[in-house]
Amino acid sequence: MKTEKTKEDRKKKWDNFWYYYKYHVLIGAFALICIITFAKDMLGKVSYDYEIGFLGDYSMVEEDRIKMEDWFTENAKDLNEDGEVHVQISDYFIPSEGDEGYDPQMVMAGQTKFTVDVQTATSMIFFVSERSYEKFKEMEVFSEDENQLIAVKDCKAFEEMGSPASFQDMYITLRILPEVADNEKGEEAQKYYEESEKLLKKFIGE
């Protein structure tokens, strides 16, 4: 009898607890899941030493992107000193209305990603089409000096990779180094720019 009463009391206490605190428990469980998911994402997130932009009139072929990233990874410096070199090439395909593959939503997404890149100085090296260069140099992203615009097909690295077709008609250049108000971030941006310039020269074959 006593055991049955104890079990019944426990059940009543649990029912009472669940009645008053079930939302607290559910919210707490949801928050815990979010924290665990976020922690996994952060632990698995790659810290890139260099990010490179691709502003073409078409999207890169995946195989060509991998070849290009592999070359840069093998020739780049470990900037964040984590013992590994990681390079990512971001495709900012922003076609004009009437172009093949034009989609307003894709254009908006590409413009947003590119704008964030420019504002945060994520990429210093860019592969650009002639049209993209003309468009964005007016916005002072790229230099007016066209001598800074190098045809990819004339670069040493392009030949070493077997002349990937996605880059055949592209040019490579550095963006204009943005002014950064924060001194510490400004020094980091300057260092990143200088190392990117060295990497670009190696790509060209200078």
User: What is the per-residue pLDDT for 15?
Assistant: 61
What residue type is assigned to position 129 of the chain? Answer: S
The overall average pLDDT reported for the chain is 80
Say what the pTM is.
Answer: 0.73
Task: Lowest mean pLDDT of 93-97, 137-141, 145-149, name the range.
Answer: 93-97
Cα distances (Å, whole numbers) of residue 49 to 78, 104, 108 = 6, 32, 27
Structure tokens belonging to residue 146: 């066209």
pLDDT at 42: 44
Tell me the pLDDT tens digit for each residue of 2-35: 455 565 665 565 566 556 555 655 565 565 565 5
Domain boundaries, the chain: 1-45, 50-204
**The predicted structure's pLDDT at residue 43:** 45
- What DSSP assignment string belongs to 177-188? PPP-SSHHHHHH
pLDDT of 103 above 60: yes
Tell which residue, 178, 128, 120, 168, has the closest CA to residue 148.
Answer: 128
pLDDT band for position 140 (cuts 50, 70, 90): confident
Torsion of CA 156, 192, 137, 101, to 10 degrees: 70
Instruction: Please tell me the distance from the alpha carbon of residue 106 to that of residue 99, in angstroms, as a whole number.
Output: 13
Q: What is the pLDDT of residues 145-155, one digit of tens each?
A: 888 899 999 99
| Weakest-pLDDT range from 13-17, 103-107, 112-116 | 13-17
DSSP state of 170: -
Encoded amino acid at 103, one letter:
D
Amino acid symbol at 31:
A
pLDDT of residue 183: 65
pLDDT tier for residue 99 given thresholds of 50, 70 and 90: low
Pairing of strands 87-91, 50-55: parallel
User: Between 28 and 41, whose confidence is greater?
Assistant: 28
pLDDT at 75: 94
